[in-house]
Structure 1
Amino acid sequence: MASVQLDGISRRFGKSAATAKRAFDGIENISFTVPDGQFWVLVGPSGCGKSTILRTIAGLETATSGNLYIGKTLVNQVPARQRDVAMVFQNYALYPHMSVAENIAFGLTMRQVDAKTIQERVETVAHMLDIAHLVDRKPRQLSGGQQQRVALGRAIARQPQVFLLDEPLSNLDAQLRDGTRAELKLLHQRVGITTIYVTHDQVEAMTLADQIVVIDRGTIQQIGAPQTIYDRPVNRMVATFLGNPPMNVLPVTFTGAGFQLGEQSIPLPPRLKPQYAPGARFDLGIRPESIQVSREAGQLRAEVRVVEPLGREVLVRVVLPGEPQGFQPSLNVQIRPQLNLQVRDQIFLTLDLEQMFLFDPATGTRIYPIL
Structure 2
Amino acid sequence: MANVRLENITRRYHTTLAIEEINFEVPDGEFWVLVGPSGCGKSTILRTIAGLETATSGNVYIDNTLVNEIPARKRDVAMVFQNYALYPHLSVAENLAFGLKMRGVDPTKTQEIIQKVAQSLSIEHLLNRKPKQLSGGQQQRVALGRAIAREPKVFLLDEPLSNLDAQLRDDTRAELKQLHQRLGITTIYVTHDQVEAMTLADKLVILHQGKIQQIGDPQRVYSRPKNRMVATFLGNPPMNILPITYGNSLFWIANQSLTCPSAIREKLQPQEGQKFDLGIRPEHIQFITSENVIDDLQQDVWAFEKVPLDVEVSVVEPLGREILVRAYIPNSSQPHEQYSIQFQVPIHHHLHPGDRLTIKLDLNQILIFNSTTGDTLYP
Q: Taking structure 1 as the reference length, what is the TM-score of the superposition?
A: 0.95
Aligned partner (choices 16, 20, 23) of residue 28 of structure 1: 20
* 1:284 aligned counterpart, secondary structure: strand
Aligned partner (choices 304, 318, 322) of residue 327 of structure 2: 318
Counterpart AA for 1:272: I
Aligned partner (choices 291, 312, 326) of residue 285 of structure 2: 291
Aligned to 2:252: 260
Is the CA contact 1:256–1:277 (under 8 Å) kept in the aligned structure 2? no
Q: Distance in 2 between matches of 1:38 and 1:256?
A: 50
Deviations, residues 181-202 of structure 1 (Å, cap 9, x unaligned): 0000000000110000000000
Aligned partner (choices 330, 348, 357) of residue 358 of structure 2: 348
Is the CA contact 1:2–1:194 (under 8 Å) kept in the aligned structure 2? yes
Aligned counterparts, 1:202-281, within 5 A:
202-273=194-265, 275-281=269-275
Measure how far apart 1:25 and its partner are.
2.8
Deviations, residues 3-39 of structure 1 (Å, cap 9, x unaligned): 000011111111x3xxxxxxx5311000000000000
Measure how far apart 1:330 and its partner are.
0.8
Measure how far apart 1:81 and its partner are.
0.3
Aligned to 2:89: 97
Q: Distance in 2 between matches of 1:130 and 1:335?
A: 41
Measure how far apart 1:254 and its partner are.
0.7
Counterpart AA for 1:279: G
* 1:246 aligned counterpart, secondary structure: coil
Aligned to 1:20: none
Is the CA contact 1:38–1:193 (under 8 Å) kept in the aligned structure 2? yes
Q: Give unmatched runs, 5+ long, in structure 1.
A: 17-23
Aligned partner (choices 132, 146, 161) of residue 140 of structure 1: 132
Which of 37-46 and 352-361 deviates more?
352-361
Measure how far apart 1:356 and its partner are.
0.6
Measure how far apart 1:232 and its partner are.
0.4
Aligned to 2:345: 335
Measure how far apart 1:57 and its partner are.
0.1
Is the CA contact 1:256–1:276 (under 8 Å) kept in the aligned structure 2? no
Aligned partner (choices 167, 176, 183) of residue 191 of structure 1: 183
Please say if 1:6 is aligned against 2:6. yes
Deviations, residues 86-133 of structure 1 (Å, cap 9, x unaligned): 000000001111111111111111111110111011111111001100
Measure how far apart 1:325 and its partner are.
4.6
* 1:251 aligned counterpart, secondary structure: strand
CA RMSD of aligned residues (A): 1.1
Is the CA contact 1:56–1:63 (under 8 Å) kept in the aligned structure 2? yes
Which of 319-328 and 280-289 deviates more?
319-328
* 2:117 aligned counterpart, secondary structure: helix
Q: Distance in 2 between matches of 1:149 and 1:190?
A: 16
Q: Taking structure 2 as the reference length, what is the TM-score of the superposition?
A: 0.93
Q: Distance in 1 between matches of 2:328 and 2:283?
A: 17
4+ residue runs over 2 A deviation = 295-298
* 1:272 aligned counterpart, secondary structure: helix
Measure how far apart 1:346 and its partner are.
1.2
Q: Distance in 2 between matches of 1:149 and 1:269?
A: 52
Counterpart AA for 1:291: I
Which of 254-263 and 229-238 deviates more?
254-263
Is the CA contact 1:164–1:195 (under 8 Å) kept in the aligned structure 2? yes
Which of 299-308 and 205-214 deviates more?
299-308
Measure how far apart 1:273 and its partner are.
2.2
Counterpart AA for 1:363: T
Counterpart AA for 2:329: L
Please say if 1:46 is aligned against 2:55. no
Aligned to 1:21: none
Q: Distance in 1 between matches of 2:243 and 2:311?
A: 16
Counterpart AA for 1:285: G
Measure how far apart 1:270 and its partner are.
4.3
Measure how far apart 1:243 and its partner are.
0.7
How much identity, in percent, do the aligned residues show?
Answer: 64
Please say if 1:180 is aligned against 2:172. yes
Q: Distance in 1 between matches of 2:341 and 2:213?
A: 25
Aligned partner (choices 282, 299, 315) of residue 306 of structure 1: 315
Change (3 A) 1:270 1:352: farther
Counterpart AA for 2:357: I
Measure how far apart 1:309 and its partner are.
1.2
Counterpart AA for 1:148: Q
* 2:23 aligned counterpart, secondary structure: strand
How many residue pairs are counted as aligned between the two chains?
361
* 2:17 aligned counterpart, secondary structure: coil
